[in-house]
């Protein structure tokens, strides 16, 4: 059964509208995922889907179980949509973030620490690369972009449902804890001591990636026991942080893996 909503004064519409802002998402511990694929992935991964929102007339060709469905008029739905060619479907999903102090080191082999990554597109791509290349978890610093920003959700391609993400507000304590737990800490720097392809990434690895403009901050840099650089063969001075992370995770995975990679053609836009 679908419940039709046509007024901006409706409480459900107002609730969903608030999720377009970071404060609204934080207050309600919910975010909005738009598009059929994201909705299907959320349902398939047993995410906490609170309810679905459809543009009036949108048909569903997949099982939604007992999920409640609200149908918005075209005008109302379009005030919520951020995509150019909307598919007319979105899900309101509940979430819970955990502090880095909750990390149980025995459950993790490769972790990624993000120091003030602020671009939503970069963050989404990073989450997707971590999921694809075998990172076991992500730690985001206080200065990072909201990971439930609609652009992050869209560009991560639902990978945030597949990998645990922790928040960190006390980097000195977090790095000391992980170092004591056996993690080697690798940071990427333009003038790093060693090439990423020459390093042997043995045991537990914590990979640190920095801000798009300023790199890894001083408070975090002091904890990096290995300073790595990615070789540049062209005229560009550096790589985009999401691209650099992908290169680094590939090198870490290659070093740790005893099996050859198989090209399955899993590259898409």
Q: What are the angstrom distances between the C-alpha of 27 and each of 8, 31, 95, 146, 259?
A: 21, 10, 11, 13, 46
Q: Could you say which architecture CATH assigns to the domain 2-94?
A: 2-Layer Sandwich (3.30)
Contact 151, 127 (CB under 8 A): no
List, by residue range, all CATH 3.30.1330.30 domains of the chain: 2-94
In angstroms, the CA 95 to CA 85 distance is 27
**Looking at domain 98-256, which CATH architecture does it have?**
3-Layer(aba) Sandwich (3.40)
Q: Tens of pLDDT along the chain (269 residues)? A: 799 999 999 999 999 999 999 999 999 999 999 999 999 999 999 999 999 999 999 999 999 999 999 999 999 999 998 888 899 999 999 999 999 999 999 999 999 999 999 999 999 999 999 999 999 999 999 999 999 999 999 999 889 999 999 999 999 999 999 999 999 999 999 999 999 999 999 999 999 999 999 999 999 999 999 999 999 999 998 899 999 999 999 999 999 885 445 555 554 54
Measured distance CA(207)–CA(117) in Å, rounded = 14
Nearest partner of 157 among 43, 42, 249, judged by Cα: 42
What share of residues in the chain are helix, strand, coil (percent, to 5)?
35, 25, 40
Ranges for all domains in the chain classified under CATH 3.40.1280.10: 98-256
87 touches 53 (CB < 8 A): no
Q: Which tokens go with 179?
A: 């170092």
Q: How many CA atoms lie within 13 A of 167 on its CB side?
A: 12
Contact predicate 67/52, CB 8 Å: yes
- Counting Cβ atoms within 10 Å, is residue 232 exposed (0-12), middle (13-18) or buried (19+)? exposed
Q: Cα-flanking dihedrals φ and ψ of residue 224, to 5°?
A: -80, 110
């Amino acid at each position: 059964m679908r419940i039709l909503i046509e007024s901006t004064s409706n409480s459900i519409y107002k609730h969903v509208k608030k999720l377009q802002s970071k404060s609204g998402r934080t207050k309600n511990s919910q975010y909005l995922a738009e598009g059929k694929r994201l909705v299907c992935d959320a349902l398939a991964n047993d995410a906490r889907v609170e309810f679905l929102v459809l543009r009036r007339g949108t048909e569903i060709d997949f099982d939604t179980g007992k999920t409640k469905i609200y149908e918005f008029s075209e005008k109302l739905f379009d005030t919520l949509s951020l995509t150019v060619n909307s598919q007319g479907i979105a899900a309101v999903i509940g979430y819970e973030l955990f502090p880095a102090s909750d990390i149980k080191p025995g459950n993790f082999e490769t972790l990624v620490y993000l120091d003030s990554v602020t671009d939503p597109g970069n963050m989404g791509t990073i989450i997707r690369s971590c999921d694809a290349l075998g990172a076991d978890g992500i730690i985001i610093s206080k200065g990072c972009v909201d990971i439930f920003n609609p652009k992050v959700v869209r560009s991560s391609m639902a990978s945030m449902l597949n990998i645990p993400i922790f928040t960190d507000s006390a980097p000195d304590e977090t790095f000391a804890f992980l170092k004591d737990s056996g993690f080697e800490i690798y940071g990427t720097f333009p003038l790093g001591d060693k090439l990423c392809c020459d390093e042997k990434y043995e045991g537990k690895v914590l990979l640190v990636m920095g801000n798009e403009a300023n790199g890894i901050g001083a408070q975090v840099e002091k904890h990096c026991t290995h300073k790595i650089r990615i070789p540049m063969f062209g005229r560009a001075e550096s790589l985009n942080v999401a691209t650099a992370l992908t290169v680094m995770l590939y090198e870490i995975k290659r070093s740790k893996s005893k099996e050859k990679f198989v090209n399955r053609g899993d590259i898409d836009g």
